[in-house]
Amino acid sequence: MTRLAVTGATGFIGGAVHRAARALGWEVHGYGSRDWDIAAGPLADPPEVDAVVHAAAAVTDWGDDHHTRRVCVDGTRHVARTFPHARLVHISSASVYDPFAPTVHAPETAAPVTRYLTAYGAAKADAERALADRPDTVVLRPHAVYGPGDPTLLPRVLGAIRGRTLVIVGDGQARHSLTSVDNLVAAALSACTGTPGIYNIADAHPVVLQDALHDLLRERGLDVRIRHLPLRAAWHAAGLAERAWRALGAARPPRLTRYAISHLGYERTLDITAARTALGYSPTATSFAGAADW
C-alpha cells in the first residue's frame, strides 16, 4: 500500500488529490493550514510516507507579498525538510513562465525566468529553485486549473460579467493550454512513482480562449455576449490602476490587472511531451461538462 502525505488537503487541488488517493486504497495523511502551518517550520513527528504531494500555496496576484513568499518558498523548504527521504511531488504553476511574452508550446526549459509581474509568480519560481538539488523530486506545472470546487478561474469569469456582457482583453483568439483538476490529479498520482523531473501538465490539446469561454458559459446556462478590449490599451490602463490601488493601500485588486491580461490576452500553451513520455500521462480533452454544478 502506498503511503502518501498531501499538503493543502483542504484546498481545491490538494483536496482532489487526497480524495483520489484514498479511493485507490492508499494510506493518506492530509494536512490543511489548521493542521500544519508550513510557513512556520517543519512538521513535528511526521509519519513515514513513500511520497508527498505538496499542493499548499498562497495563490494570489494581490495582497501581502511577504506572506506569499513565506508560504510558497519557506513552506516548500519546510515540506522538503519534513520528508527528506520521500518522493516529493511539488505542484508548481505555469506562472513561472515569462508573463511579459506569449508562451507558445513552451518546453520546461523555458522557465524559471528573471522577471515576474507578481510575488506569486516569483515565489513559485523560487520554490522550484529551492528544490533544484533535492533528489527524488517531481515538479508539475499546470496552467489555469479548473473543475468542481474551482476557487479562481470560474469565479473570475463569472465575476467579470456585467449584465449580459463579458469583456475580455484581446481578440479572443489566443490559444491556451487549460488543465482540468482530474488531469492534474492523475499526473500527481503518477508522479509519486514516475521519473523525477519537471513536467508541464495540461489537457490533451490547447483551446481557443473565446471558444472555451462560450462553452463554459453555455454549460452554465448563461446567455452572455463577449466583447473585446484592445490589448495594448488594456495593459496600460491596468498598470495605472495597479499603481493607484497600491498607493491607496487597497486590499482588493482593480477589476483589471496586468497579471490577468498576461494569462488571458496572450497565448499560453505548454508542451506536455515530457509528461506523456516519462510519467505515462494521458490527459483528456478540455471539457466543461457539469460546470452548471461547480
pLDDT digits (tens, 9 = 90+) for 123-149: 999 999 999 999 999 999 999 999 999
Rounded CA separation 44/156 (Å):
38
Residue 251 has a pLDDT of 86
Q: Is residue 155 within 8 Å of residue 294, measured between CB atoms? A: no
Percent helix, strand and coil across the chain, each rounded to 5? 35, 20, 45
Chain centroid to CA 181: 10
235 phi/psi in degrees, rounded to 5: -60, -45
The pLDDT score that the predictor gives to residue 272 is 98
Distance CA 288, CA 95 (A): 23
pLDDT at 57: 94
Q: Decide: helix, strand or coil at residue 105.
A: strand
Cell of 109: 526549459
Q: Where are the domains of the chain?
A: 3-289
Instruction: Return the pLDDT at 99.
Output: 95
Amino acid (one-letter) located at 294: W
The HSE-up count of residue 68 (CA atoms within 13 Å, CB side) is 16
Which neighbouring-strand residues pair with 106? 270
pLDDT, position 275: 98
- The number of angstroms, rounded, from the C-alpha of 269 to the middle of its chain's C-alpha atoms is 14
Q: What is the pLDDT of residue 42?
A: 98
d(CA 122, CA 72): 10
- pLDDT, residue 226, reads 96
Q: Would you state the pLDDT for residue 112?
A: 96
Q: Which fold has domain 3-289?
A: Rossmann fold (3.40.50)
* Alpha carbon 116 to its chain's center: 15
Q: Which residues of the chain have pLDDT under 70?
A: none
pLDDT at 224: 95
Please give the share of the chain, as a percent, with pLDDT higher than 70: 100
Interhelix angle 12-23/181-191, nearest 10 degrees: 60
**Measured between alpha carbons, how far is 125 from 27 in angstroms, rounded to an integer?**
31
- The model's pTM is 0.96
pLDDT reported for residue 281: 98
212 forms beta bridges with none
